[in-house]
Amino acid sequence: MARTTSLIDPAPDIIADKGVTDQNDVPILVQDLTVAYHRKPVLWDIDFSIPEGKIIGIIGPNGAGKSTLLKAILDLIPKASGRILIYGKPYRQQRAKVGYVPQRESVDWDFPVNALDVVAMGQYGKIGWFKPVTRKHKTLAMESLERVGMADYANRQISQLSGGQQQRVFLARALVQDAQIYFMDEPFAGVDAATETAIVKLLQQFRSIGKTVVVIHHDLQTVKDYFDYLIMLNMRIVATGNTSEIFTPENLQKTYGGRLTLLDEAVQAIAREGDRRL
Amino acid sequence: MNPRKRSGIRYISFRHILAPAIILMFVVSTGRAAPDSIGSIRDTTIEWPTIDEVLRVVLLRDYNTRVVVIGTMLLGLAAGVIGTFILLRKRSLMGDAVSHATLPGIGLAFIIMSRFGGSGKHLPGLLAGAMITGLIGMGLILLIRNTTRLKEDAALGIVLSVFFGFGVAILGIIQKMSTGHAAGLESFIYGKTASMLAADAQLIAYVALLILIVCTILYKEFTLLCFDQEFASSQGWPVVLLDITMMVLVVIVTVIGLQAVGLILVIALLIIPAAAARFWSYNLLTIVIASGIIGAFSGLAGAGSSALIPRLPTGAIIVVIAASVFIFSLVFGSARGLLVRIYQHLRLLKKVGHQNLLRAMFEWWENHDTSGQSRIHRQSDTKGAELANSVCDRDSDNIGNVEHSSRDIRWGELLALRSWAPRRLRRLIRIAIKEELISQLSLGSYRLTEVGKAEAKRIVRNHRLWEIYLITHADIAPSRVDRDADQIEHVLGRAMVDKLERILASTSPDLAMPSSPHPL
Ligand SMILES: Nc1ncnc2c1ncn2[C@@H]1O[C@H](COP(=O)(O)OP(=O)(O)OP(=O)(O)O)[C@@H](O)[C@H]1O
Ligand SMILES: [Mg+2]
């Protein structure tokens, strides 16, 4: 499999750069990625790879394309160009290795299910077509609710949970997927200090058993404490690398301050062009 | 997402409940059918059934009636079940647009069939035509939404009006083309079970059963799709295929419902039972079943009444019945019904008032206790012993150790403690006296009874534990905690208090009765 992919793209220089010999050891490899919504590019020429067994943060201002990057990796939106490999293979073949925690606002919490039901959804892929959820799956779901400290709330209807509790339910659902890589879209948004600490502990547990965790994050204060590795993003990659090396005022300035006005203008022009053609 | 959340219900209440209800009221009150412009209703009088006729229908003696009633009932069942999913998927309006898009198909099928020498009114042929344009309509909505920048509501509006208008035009052409033959096609617009044959009803029944089977098999998949499409997709579920399957089921229900309910109102049979069922439960499976039952009941009762009074438009009756169930559920529903919510609200209000009264009296007593300082001392002396049995329900005799002030609180002082209205305070006191938590020694002078003191102590303790928790663990400013604690302490259960004790045991030494973290 690895052979065929390397035939398509004979010179993956990024791999050579990092001195990695085998793509199969790289949890995520992104090459040349461009993503556009209605012809308006929101991610340009993204190239990076991430190390295994680390907690990786993605930071950038609102609209930088952080969520879009995750969605592109998870094949939820089409790519304009480029490719993404998870342990050397396209996402399609590696789903079982990937767990996803979407942004909490992405679902309707008034939906008539309880916390346990939501967590059990993490196993639907394993259960497969047509077969119902059995007691065995519910037991597993219960265990993962326990791990996030939500066992008491298993039978609560999800609308009756607080924001932080809802976030924990989502985490439990990812836990029960038993994946190698986890993607989390702003897991700390709208949770209190205690829940945030609990979530961070959980992430560190993951790391200690060799799992890779990718987290979109907004609070710059805690970046140094939480993340080993960082992707600084603003429509294009500003910097990637160990937090201690790249979390610098210059890079922050490049990411957050002084918008990339030229790039912005180009985007607007392309969008206008698109409008005219429609 | 949010603004569209309840659009299904709101949308139906205006167009689909009111209109038929008004027509029906008009019809019933005047004893005359609505004027010609209402399409299928051409007759001007209504003949009320005789007792004998009523019995015939109720007991289902007549074979044709029996088949029609059962067929319509199964239709309602299927619509209720699949309707729950499209309500949760927020696709109610798409169902409506699709049902309107079936009309040109009916007309075109009629023309084609009569051209090729058929009767033109062969039902399976008409339904096939309806199905085809319905699916085309659905495809167009998706196409418009995905390829242009128009939003979904615009796409729905375009497809609904264009297809329906086109259908009306075709019916007009048919009327000119072959007068007489086409009579009855309009019954697809408003629904008329009277024109239904046993064979038609059988077809409906089989298709409805098929839909039920598919929904049962795909229950888990549909649930995931409705709740979290992105997650489903990330897990590799073919979201688009599932979505199309669901919408095709909706089109099928719509098509087999055309005869009984009519294409304008069939959406109501999809959505109203589901919306009503949500008032009875928080559990999806229960809601699906309840919705099916409500749909089945509406279909049964609607077809039954229609058999009694054949000139009433069946669709309208079915919708009015479903709407009545909806209104009943809205008021009496055991999960989110109005009465339940009002009751819960009142009970909480009462509980809050009751707890505030006892807490106010207890804290006042703490402040005016003549042996105030010594009390606090004694508490820290006996700290170890008290921690051991820190659950204060059990150590209420502990209060006996503390001699309380002989002073009783006066009405005016009590009133000044909190910002409560005199009337409310008076009522709270009356209730507390009746429950023997407070005694009134002389007029306007009150004191906590022994039972009241124990209760008050428990409440105050919970309040303070919670306040301390908020300050130490949630970083809330001490000046604000009183108000925040107020909102939550009333719902603190035993389990939560235990948890608080465990959390605070390490940081707060005087757990048995912590002193207030802010000036009283
Ligand atoms: N479905 C969509 N259709 C069109 N444009 C979109 C869509 N989703 C996002 N965008 C645009 O793409 C850009 C990047 O959005 P994205 O959600 O990835 O940002 P983000 O970095 O996650 O921001 P935030 O911090 O606010 O979550 C934004 O300019 C946004 O307006
Ligand atoms: Mg985002």
Is pLDDT of B254 > 50?
A: yes
Instruction: Give φ, ψ of B479 to 5 degrees.
Output: -70, -20
pTM: 0.76
* Average pLDDT of the residues of chain A: 84
ipTM exceeding the 0.90 mark: no
Length of chain A, please?
278
Query: What is the pLDDT confidence band of residue A203, given thresholds at 50, 70 and 90?
Result: very high
| Widest pairwise Cα distance in chain B | 107
Nearest-CA residue for atom 7 of ligand 1: A37
Instruction: Give φ, ψ of B356 to 5 degrees.
Output: -65, -40
List strands edge to edge, sheet with B438-442: B409-410, B445-448, B438-442
For residue A271, the SS3 value is: helix
Report the pLDDT averaged over residues B165-180.
82
How many whole angstroms separate alpha carbon A150 and alpha carbon A146? 6
CATH of the structural domain B24-336, one choice from 1.10.3470.10, 3.90.76.10, 1.20.120.350, 3.90.1150.10? 1.10.3470.10
Q: What is the pLDDT of residues B7-55, one digit of tens each?
A: 444 444 444 555 555 555 544 444 444 444 444 444 556 677 778 777 7
What is the per-residue DSSP string for B135-151? HHHHHHHHHHHHHSS--
Cα(first)–Cα(last) distance of chain A, in Å? 40
Q: Which numbered ligand comes closest to the C-alpha of A219?
A: 1
A65 CB less than 6 Å from ligand 1? yes
**Nearest-CA neighbor of A49 among A98, A15, A89?**
A15
Length of chain B, please?
520
Q: H or E segment at B439?
A: strand B438-442
CA triplet A88, A123, B220: central angle to 5 degrees?
125
Residues β-bridged to residue A215:
A57, A184
Q: Do B228 and A102 touch (CB under 8 A)?
A: yes
Highest mean pLDDT among A87-96, A249-258, B355-364: A87-96
Q: Which numbered ligand comes closest to the C-alpha of A59?
A: 1
Output the pLDDT for position B232.
94
Instruction: Read off the DSSP letter of residue A85.
Output: E
CA distances from A273 to A39, A64, A267, B145, B219 (A): 9, 22, 10, 20, 45
**Sign of torsion over alpha carbons A64, A67, A68, A74:** positive
Output the pLDDT for position B287.
97
A212 CB less than 6 Å from ligand 1? no
Q: What is the pLDDT of residues B281-330, one digit of tens each?
A: 999 999 999 999 999 999 999 888 888 887 777 888 899 999 999 999 99
How many whole angstroms separate alpha carbon B360 and alpha carbon B327? 43
Strands (E), B49-152: none
B236 → closest Cβ in A107, A117, A125: A125
Least confident of A13-17, B182-186, B363-367, B388-392: B388-392
For residue A182, the SS3 value is: strand
Nearest-CA residue for atom 9 of ligand 1: A68
Strands (E), B2-57: none
Write the secondary structure of A95-134 as one string of H (helix), E (strand) and C (coil): HHHEEEECCHHHCCCCCCCEHHHHHHHHHHHHHCCCCCCC
> Which residues of A fall within a CB distance of 8 Å from B235?
95, 100, 124-125
* Average pLDDT of the residues of chain B: 78
Number of H helices, E strands in chain B: 25, 3
> Which residues of B fall within a CB distance of 8 Å from A157?
282
Q: Do B227 and A127 touch (CB under 8 A)?
A: no
Q: Do A106 and B282 touch (CB under 8 A)?
A: no
Output the pLDDT for position B108.
92
Report the pLDDT averaged over residues B479-491.
60
For residue B284, the SS3 value is: helix
List strands edge to edge, sheet with A40-50: A40-50, A28-37, A81-86
CATH number of B453-504: 1.10.60
Q: What is the pLDDT of residues B75-122, one digit of tens each?
A: 999 999 999 999 999 998 988 999 999 999 999 999 888 888 777 778
Residue appearing with tokens 């949970």? A161
Beta-strand relationship, A181-185 and A212-216: parallel
Which residue type sits at A158?
A: I
Output the pLDDT for position B102.
93
Instruction: Read off the DSSP letter of residue B410.
Output: E
Can you read off the two tokens belonging to residue A45? 């020429």
Domain range B341-372+380-394+404-448, CATH class: mainly alpha
**Nearest-CA neighbor of A119 among A171, A196, A189?**
A171
Q: What is the pLDDT of residues B156-168, one digit of tens each?
A: 999 999 999 999 9
Question: Which sequence spans correspond to the domains of chain B?
Answer: 24-336, 341-372+380-394+404-448, 453-504
Q: What is the pLDDT of residues B191-244, one digit of tens each?
A: 877 777 888 888 888 989 999 999 999 999 999 999 999 999 999 999 999 999
Beta-strand relationship, A229-234 and A55-59: parallel
Upper half-sphere CA count for residue B87 (Cβ side, 13 Å): 31
Which residue type sits at B35?
A: P
**Nearest-CA neighbor of B253 among B301, B293, B295, B306?**
B295
Q: H or E segment at A36?
A: strand A28-37
> Which residues of A fall within a CB distance of 8 Å from B473?
193-194
Residues β-bridged to residue A34:
A81
Beta-strand relationship, A181-185 and A98-101: parallel
CATH superfamily of the A23-107+179-277 domain: P-loop containing nucleotide triphosphate hydrolases (3.40.50.300)
> Which residues of B fall within a CB distance of 8 Å from A107?
227-228
Pocket test for ligand 1, best of A40, A62, A270 (most atoms within 8 A of CB): A62
Is pLDDT of B391 > 70?
A: no
How many whole angstroms separate alpha carbon A25 and alpha carbon A29? 10
Can you read off the two tokens belonging to residue B412? 């005016």
Is pLDDT of A120 > 90?
A: yes
What is the whole-number distance in angstroms between the Cα of residue A34 and the centre of ligand 2?
17
What is the per-residue DSSP string for B477-502? -HHHHHHHHHHHHTT--HHHHHHHHH
Identify whether the C-beta of residue B262 lies closer than 8 Å to the C-beta of residue B313. yes
Q: For helices B239-261 and B198-217, what crossing angle results, to 10°?
A: 160
Which residue type sits at A176?
A: V
How many whole angstroms separate alpha carbon A46 and alpha carbon B87? 39
